[in-house]
Structure 1
């Protein structure tokens, strides 16, 4: 099997009273994440805003070279700064899931 990379998917649950500052997320949070994780094999990311009837409001889909690269990124002490930035744009705690990409089209 060829290496199709791995992904971190960050899901923000839709909750009553939940806030999400998309402008801050685009302008500040994602550049912080990119600057922190590029050295650990982060290749790209996509931000998805879901329809109002979805159980999640937002998602970040972050592409890495491999699961091992994700593990190294999560171990980086600077990752704490990325995680500590969450309250600056959202009062909802995200759900993080990771996995290997088995097929790309």
Structure 2
């Protein structure tokens, strides 16, 4: 009798465990990505060209934190990417670096950047001789 009771308890435990696992959100779903939907992403792209330079250390430790500080609570996060290769073998590197700001509001971003634009541009020669391209987009997924 005790053996049957133990077997029933094990069976019920196994059933409950399987049910709980089936009703969990997929592990591949990244909550950070879900939370970013609807954010504005401002990407600053630094194209590669012969003779152009980029000081990643200064960009990472000084320039990006400076600009991020101007954005205040509108800033959700920022990223820095260092170009390492083209997607096509033996092709030139398309971008030396990309800096991105994820913000809640484009108008608040513009309000923070506009009065500081000249100071931001004045910092460029400290880390690069590249004129960046800026892309503003909305995160959809």
TM over 0.5: yes
Q: Which residue in 1 is equivalent to 2:52?
A: 18
- Cα distance in 1 for partners of 2:56, 2:120 equals 16
CA RMSD of aligned residues (A): 1.8
Alignment match of 1:34 (pick from 54, 68, 77) = 68
Alignment match of 1:5 (pick from 26, 39, 64) = 39
Alignment match of 1:89 (pick from 103, 127, 130) = 127
1:62 lines up with 2:101 in the alignment: yes
- Cα distance in 1 for partners of 2:122, 2:80 equals 19
Greater strand content: 1
Greater helix content: 2
- Structure 2: stretches of 5+ with no match in the other structure: 1-34, 87-92
Which of the two has higher C-alpha Rg? 2
- Cα distance in 2 for partners of 1:79, 1:37 equals 12
Normalised by the size of structure 1, how large is the TM-score?
0.84
Helix, strand or coil at the partner of 1:78: helix
- Structure 1: stretches of 5+ with no match in the other structure: none
